[in-house]
Structure 1
Amino acid sequence: MTPLLCVFLTAEMGVIMVLLFGTPLRKLVMIVLDRLKEIRGPVMSTVGGTLFLILMSCLYSIMRIQKRTIETGAVNPTDQVLLANHVLDTSLMGFCMFLGLMIDRLHYYIKRFDGSENVKPFFKNKKLLDTDSD
C-alpha cells in the first residue's frame, strides 16, 4: 500500500505544481479536472470515503498496538515494525487527502478568478482616477 500511496502523492504534488503556474499545461489539467468533477458524484465520494475508512482502521490499529505495549510493559520487535508501517500508511493517506482538498480548492479559485473580467476594470478605473487627481 505504501508504494501506491507514494505514487499517488507524487502525482497530486505534480498536479498542484502545474496548477500554480500559468502554463499551457494548466489549461489541459483544468479541462481534465472539469471533466472529473462532472462525474464526481458517486465516484469521488466513494473513493474519499473508502480512503477515510482505511485511515480510521489504521489509526485504530495504531492505538491497539500502543495499548498492547503499555499493558505488557515489554517492547515487541514485531509490534514496532507494525506500528511504524501503520504510522507511515496513515500519514501518507492524510497527506493524500489534504492534497486532494488543495487541488479541489485551487481548481475552484483558478476557474473563478483566472478569466475574471470583474477584477481587471477595477485596476483600470483606479489608474484613471489616480491620473485625474494629479
Structure 2
Amino acid sequence: MTPLLCILLAIEINVIMLLSFRTPLRSLAMFVLDRFKEGRGPIMSTVSVTLFLVLLSSLYSIFRIQKRSMETGTVNQTDHVLLANHILDASLMGFCLFLGLMIDRLHYYVKRFDYSESVKSFTAKESYVTESD
C-alpha cells in the first residue's frame, strides 16, 4: 500500500504545482478536473471517506500495538516493524487527504479567479467602446 500512496502523493503534488502557476498545462488540468468532478455523483467523497476510514483503522492498530508493548514492557521486533509500517501508511494517507482538499480548493479558486478576470476584461472593453462614441 505504501508504493501506491507514494505515487498518489506525487500525482497530487504535480497537480497542485500545475494549478499554482499560469501555464498552458493549467487550462488542461482545469479541464480534466472539471470533467472529473462533473456529473459523477459523490465519487470523490466516497474515495476520501474510504481513505479516511483506512486511516482510522491504521491509527487504531498503532494504538493497539503501543498498548500491547506498554503491557509487556518490551517491544517485540515484529511489533516494531508493524508499528513503523502503520505510522508510515497513516502519515501518507493523511498527506494524501490534505493534498486532495488543497486540490479541490485550488480548483475552485482558480476557476473563480479566471471567471472574474474574463468578466473584468469584458466590462473594460464595453466601457472603452462607449467612452469613445
Return closer, same or farther for 1:46/1:8 CA change in 2, 3 Å cut-off.
same
Q: How many residues align?
A: 122
Q: Does 1:53 align with 2:53?
A: yes
Does residue 78 of structure 2 align to residue 78 of structure 1?
Answer: yes
Which stretches in structure 1 are left out of the alignment for 5+ residues?
125-134
Give the corresponding residue for 2:43. 43
Give structure 1 regions of 4+ aligned residues with deviation exceeding 3 angstroms.
117-121
What is the CA–CA distance in structure 1 between the aligned matches of 2:80 and 2:47, rounded to whole Å? 30
Distance 2:119 2:71 in 1: 62
> Which AA in structure 2 matches 1:66?
Q
The alignment yields a C-alpha RMSD, in angstroms, of 1.7
Partner of 1:131: none
Which residue in the other structure is 1:28 paired with? 28
* Amino acid across the alignment from 1:20: S
Tell me which moved more, 38-47 or 57-66: 38-47
Deviation at 1:116, TM superposition (A): 1.1
Q: How does 1:1-134 map to 2 (within 5 A)?
A: 1-117=1-117, 120=120
| Structure 2 unpaired stretches of 5+ | 125-133
* Residues 1:101 and 1:22: Cα distance change in structure 2 (over 3 Å): same
Instruction: Output one character per residue of 1:13-58: Cα deviation in whole Å (capped at 9) or x when no partner.
Output: 0000011110000000000100111134231121111101100000
In the superposition, the TM-score normalised over structure 1's length comes to 0.85
Aligned-residue offset at 1:120: 5.0
